[in-house]
Structure 1
Amino acid sequence: MLRRISLTSQISIGMLVGGFAGLILGPQIAGIQLIGNIFLRLIQMAVVLLIFGAVIEAIGGLAANQLGRLGGKTAGWFLITTLAAAVLGLLIGYLVNPGIGMNLSRVSHATEIAKAPSNIDQTILNFFPSNIFDSLAKGNVIQVIIFAILFGIVLNQANKAGTFNQVLSLIKQLNQLTVKLVMLVMRTAPIGIASLMAWVTADSGLKVVLPLLKFLMAFGLGSVVFLTCLFTLISWYAKIPLGGLIKGFSRIILIAFTTTSSAIALPVEMTDAESRLGVSKSISQLVLPLGMALNSNGLAMYLSLACLTLTQLYGISLSFVAMLKIILLSVIACLGTVVVPGGGLVALTIVVPTLGLPTESIAILAGIDWFSGMFRTVLNVVGDTTTAIAIAADEKELNHDIYEQVRPVTK
């Protein structure tokens, strides 16, 4: 009897079939984008609710002495990995020099990009919600997380005597139903992803990728180096086999690579962190939603590499101070950046003008944003999940037995 094809294999097949269909049939198949967009919306409709409930449940259910300790460890890991990614992006940029020899005329092609706040004060102010229902309706992830953190802290403090156990139980049940809803939609992932890949290749083919192949190659190289170092570090730190660790990440990486969205990958990330990587539920529900909005390793590397590429394009030599500025801005711009496809362009509108580069130069990278988003998202979700593994190991909440035989998630 033939084994049932796993969801991971179905998605891989869908991605390949969609890509070839787009290349062969061209513009006549571009209308298939509608199916892919419906799939993305069905996933996105529940993501904000999932984040909202998961953060409240995670913080509300913690013991008082765990709250400050876990928060500090999480912030520390996020800062270290994001800084490392930004520095590596700059180093790879100097190694490959992707901006040398590129065609400057591409800057003249106007691209509509979402407006970023004009100053740092407004950026910080926009982190805080004035109306939580408005934040939920607009899908403002960072505002939702800040409210959920505060609500979770209040629930945690007020429930010391078990007075609000029913509220905590209701939130847990809501989270369970939300996850089931998302996983139901995920059954259509092979079709949705095939449709998106067909549209991308039909719309642009190779004409958009080839002129910036050097940039993509540099980003791909940086991604491989970063993942290799990160997996090796976590394998040593958490005392888990490297092979089992990589195998446990297989579906997370594939979903992130094909959807280019940390938000869409989050439900799978949380499920696999617990069932395939041995992270306890309390750790995964605290670290992963926070990481989605606050820990963007892939975006930090992308921004530093992109800024160096643009300076090379304009023939600008960078001083050591300018390099530090790029690294710092790349880390800061990751906070609260949109976690859906295209968020990299929004982040660029924060960093590029601050460096004195013309805003229209962002159009150079806009044509391949989908492809660079594949690398960004993989680094983002892997960085979040490895942080969860490290913290779970610290807290003795990592199931090492699961690495002896990593099994597919049963439905």
Structure 2
Amino acid sequence: MERIKHILGSFWTIIFSLFLGVVIGIYAPGIATVCEPFGDIYFKLIEMACTIMLPIIIISSIGKIVISEGSSGFVYKILIALFITFATISGISILSSIIVSPITAPTSETTKNLGKLIINSQEKNQDEPVDVLKSYYFIRELDTEKEVQKKDTGILKIIADFFPNNIFESLANKKTVEVLIFSIIFGLLFKYIPQLTCNSIINLCDSLFEAFNTFLTILLYLLPFGIISLISHQTTGLDFSVLFSLIKLGERIALVFIVIFIICLLVIKYNSRKSFVEIFKALKEPMVLSFVAENLVAMPSLITAMTEKLNFNRNKVGSTAPLWMGMEIHADIALFAAASIFTLQLYGIPLGFNEIMIIFVGSIAAGLSSLGAAAVLWVALIRIILDPLDIPSSPIILALMLFEPFFNGLLYLLNAVISCAAVSILAREQKPKEKASLDKEEIAVPLKY
């Protein structure tokens, strides 16, 4: 039995599952259709567990920090670090995009292919005036303008939309940011609750988290089968000619992502004092879950990996990782920055200090505005950057919409790795095994993870 568990959880088994899923999706779409219900049920069960675990771990972790004397300042450090992360990702993306621009600069062939795609998509719109969104084709300019106008209503309005008026509705509709806000506020209120009551609530949260984590661990043994079902369905019907017609844009985005990925791994290595092999083994499961599903599904696995395998402080990881993973905009910021610089080169516009600052600030604003945006229409928010530069945004919006199915998994994966790097900085005060009991006494509540 243990050997079967080892084989199912092996890195090579997961890689083979990804490869087999792609092959089935391309060459045997009929099998992919048959497998789809299994993958759907499997990931819904995982999502169900993770949806409950998200507020539980935040409330418990922040509560433990708040009731520990002298630890409440850590919560404010989290919020400051979050915006520093936004700025850092935007800066690295701009710099790396400029560095790789000589080998990924758009050519005349890129311009021609983009023009052909615009013509083809407009013809497609005439044939299918209804439900255009479902086929990932270009949305009429009027639609994108309406969406951006709806989202671009000022930073205060955007922030106000993050606060829930009904937490149960937020949980039901998977409004992760609203759940995060509620959980953080709940955790902060522990400072005003009697110690005995706090301990009871935290013990209840710990027990619930442990129960759902056990359920999740059992489900993860079936991960290879879930991957095959999901990937085969996602790759069915994808037009891979898009990747070749706009290969320069794909190369630019991929290289920027790789640079950020490497920097994040170096940060994790520095803070964890582990080798790259140990880091990859520890983060294998959350990275795969992020790639094939989404960050919410990978969150419990990531917390377990960073605490049990990389030895970071459990409470600090529990209070920071869900926030970074739940935002899901760090990779969006990188994508907006890289695509904006590519667009400037596409139109032959020189990149000066003013342009860099507009892209730097605009990519963060566009990333924040993308929270809760429609699955495909979020890429239209690049207009927040391009409009101040007086650059037509329609061609790059079309290109990003066509690329979205291919880059979706990479966006989630990059978000997970960025989250790990940020959390490793905030939780780098590691907890040696011989001092674990002292830490428990300092917090004054039992840790049951």
TM-score, normalization: structure 2? 0.77
* 8 Å contact kept, 2:151–2:158: yes
Partner of residue 349, structure 1: 380
Aligned CA distance change for structure 1 residues 34 and 236 (closer, same or farther; 3 Å): same
Taking a change above 3 Å as real, the CA distance of residues 66 and 369 of structure 1, as seen in their structure-2 partners, is: farther
Task: Give the counterpart letter for 1:21 in structure 2.
Answer: I
Contact 2:106 2:342 in 1 (8 A): yes
1:105 aligns with 2:116: yes
Report the aligned-residue RMSD.
3.2
Partner of 2:59: 56
The answer to whether the 8 Å contact 2:286/2:298 transfers is yes
- Report whether the alignment pairs 1:204 with 2:231: no
Give the direction of change, closer, same or farther, for the CA distance of 1:40–1:369 in structure 2 (3 Å limit).
Answer: farther
1:323 aligns with 2:346: no
Give the corresponding residue for 1:247.
281
Task: Indicate the SS of the match to 1:368.
Answer: helix
CA shift at 1:128, angstroms? 1.0
AA of the residue aligned to 1:219? I
- CA deviations 1:155-202 (Å, max 9, x no partner) are 24313x323422222222222223233333333322222122223333
Query: Hey, what does 1:287 align to over in structure 2?
Result: 320
Q: Equivalences for 1:110-149 in 2 at 5 Å?
A: 112=133, 115=147, 117-120=151-154, 121-149=156-184
Provide closer, same or farther for how the CA distance between residues 367 and 193 of structure 1 changes in structure 2, counting only shifts above 3 A.
farther
* 1:268 corresponding residue in structure 2: 301
Q: Which moved more, 1:53-62 or 1:381-390?
A: 381-390
Distance 2:13 2:326 in 1: 29
**C-alpha contact 1:300 1:331 (8 A) present in aligned 2:** yes
1:43 to 23, 43, 46: 46
- The structure-2 alpha-carbon separation of the partners of 1:81 and 1:154, relative to structure 1 and needing over 3 Å to count, comes to closer
When residues 250 and 352 of structure 1 are mapped into structure 2, their CA distance, relative to the original with a 3 A threshold, is same
Cα distance in 1 between the residues matched to 2:332 and 2:378: 8
Change (3 A) 1:331 1:61: same
Note closer, same or farther for the CA distance 1:107–1:73 as it changes in structure 2 (3 Å cut).
Answer: farther
Letter in 2 for 1:149: I
Is the Cα contact below 8 Å between 2:313 and 2:430 reproduced in 1? no
Q: String of CA shifts for 1:93-121, please: whole Å, max 9, x gaps.
A: 33334544242332452652894624124
Mapped to 1, the partners of 2:337 and 2:394 lie a distance apart of: 16
Structure 2 gap ranges (5+): 126-131, 134-138, 436-449
**Which residue of structure 1 aligns with residue 226 of structure 2?**
192
Between 1:22-31 and 1:46-55, the stretch displaced more is 22-31
C-alpha distance in 1 between matches for 2:106 and 2:160:
35
Query: Distance between the aligned counterparts of 1:11 and 1:21, measured in 2?
Result: 15
Cα separation, partners in 2 of 1:78 and 1:150, compared to 1, 3 Å: closer
Q: Note the residue ranges of structure 1 that are not aligned, 5 or more in a row.
A: 402-411
| Contact 1:57 1:171 survives alignment (8 Å) | yes
Task: Tell me the secondary structure at the aligned position of residue 203 of structure 1.
Answer: coil
Does the CA contact (< 8 Å) of 1:389 and 1:398 recur in 2? Answer: no
2:254 to 207, 213, 220: 220
Q: Secondary structure of 1:302's match?
A: helix
Q: Identify the residue that residue 298 of structure 1 maps to in structure 2.
A: 331
Specify which of 87, 94, 105 is matched with residue 91 of structure 2. 87
- Asked whether the equivalents of residues 248 and 276 of structure 1 are also in contact (C-alpha less than 8 Å), the reply is yes
Aligned AA for 1:130?
A: N
TM-superposed deviation, 1:316: 4.7
- Larger Cα Rg: Structure 1 or Structure 2? 2
**What is the count of residue pairs matched by the alignment?**
396
Aligned residue in 1 for 2:185: 150
Name the amino acid aligned to 2:333. A
Match of 1:370 in 2: 405
